[in-house]
């Protein structure tokens, strides 16, 4: 994968539940992480005393975070609604030069801040809430 612009890492939210994805506006920074729990099956018979892991086991999860400035009333309102209603709508995460991850996420954290002589900003954190699909570019 060649170098990519960070601004091309996008978090998109299904606004209506009908597959109408819109980029959450005003994001300045985004981050995604994938995790998989390890299931240790090491025993006295493990070759050379090396740890053995059970393939395909354990809980998989993804976490996404982003922060930025307010720019679009529609996506801002939808993100707030998702948080306060504890919804798990479908999101798309566009990873430049890699592909698109799509699936249900819960807004697990929504923070607002601002300083006297600066812009108001927000940060949100998403936690995967079901099976995710990956489509490579």
CATH of the domain at 39: 2.30.110
Mean pLDDT computed over 40-69: 93
Q: Which of 64, 76, 65 is nearest to 128 (CA)?
A: 64
What is the number of structural domains in the chain?
Answer: 1
Q: What share of the chain has pLDDT > 70, as a percent?
A: 99
Confidence of residue 26 (pLDDT cuts 50, 70, 90): confident
| Residue 98 located in a structural domain | yes
Helices (H), ranges, 1-137: 73-84
Hey, which bits of 1-137 come out as E strands?
A: 10-14, 21-23, 27-36, 60-69, 90-95, 99-113, 121-128, 133-136
Q: Which domain holds residue 96?
A: 6-136
Average of pLDDT values for 14-39?
A: 89
Classify residue 46: in a domain, yes or no: yes
With respect to residue 106, please indicate whether it lies within any of the assigned structural domains.
yes
> Cα–Cα distance between 117 and 108 in angstroms, integer?
29
**Beta-bridge partners for 124:** 66, 110
Asked, for residue 1, whether it belongs to a domain, the answer is no
In a domain, 23, yes or no: yes
User: Torsions phi, psi of 135, nearest 5?
Assistant: -120, 115
pTM attached to this predicted model? 0.85
Please report whether residue 69 resides in a domain: yes
pLDDT at 1: 65
pLDDT at 2 over 80: no
- For the cut 80, the answer to whether the pLDDT of residue 96 exceeds it is yes
- Residue 126 lies inside a defined structural domain of this protein: yes
């Amino acid at each position: 994968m060649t170098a990519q612009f960070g601004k091309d890492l996008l978090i998109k939210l299904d606004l209506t539940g009908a597959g109408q994805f819109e980029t959450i506006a005003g994001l300045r920074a985004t981050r995604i992480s994938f995790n998989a729990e390890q299931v240790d099956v090491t025993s006295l018979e493990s070759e050379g005393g090396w740890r053995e892991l059970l393939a395909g086991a354990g809980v998989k999860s993804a976490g996404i975070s982003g922060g930025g400035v307010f720019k679009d009333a529609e996506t801002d309102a939808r993100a707030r609604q998702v948080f306060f209603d504890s919804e798990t709508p479908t999101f798309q995460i566009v990873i430049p030069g890699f592909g698109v991850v799509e699936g249900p996420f819960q807004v697990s954290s929504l923070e607002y801040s601002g300083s006297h002589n600066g812009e108001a900003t927000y940060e949100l954190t998403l936690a995967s809430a079901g099976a995710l699909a990956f489509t490579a570019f």
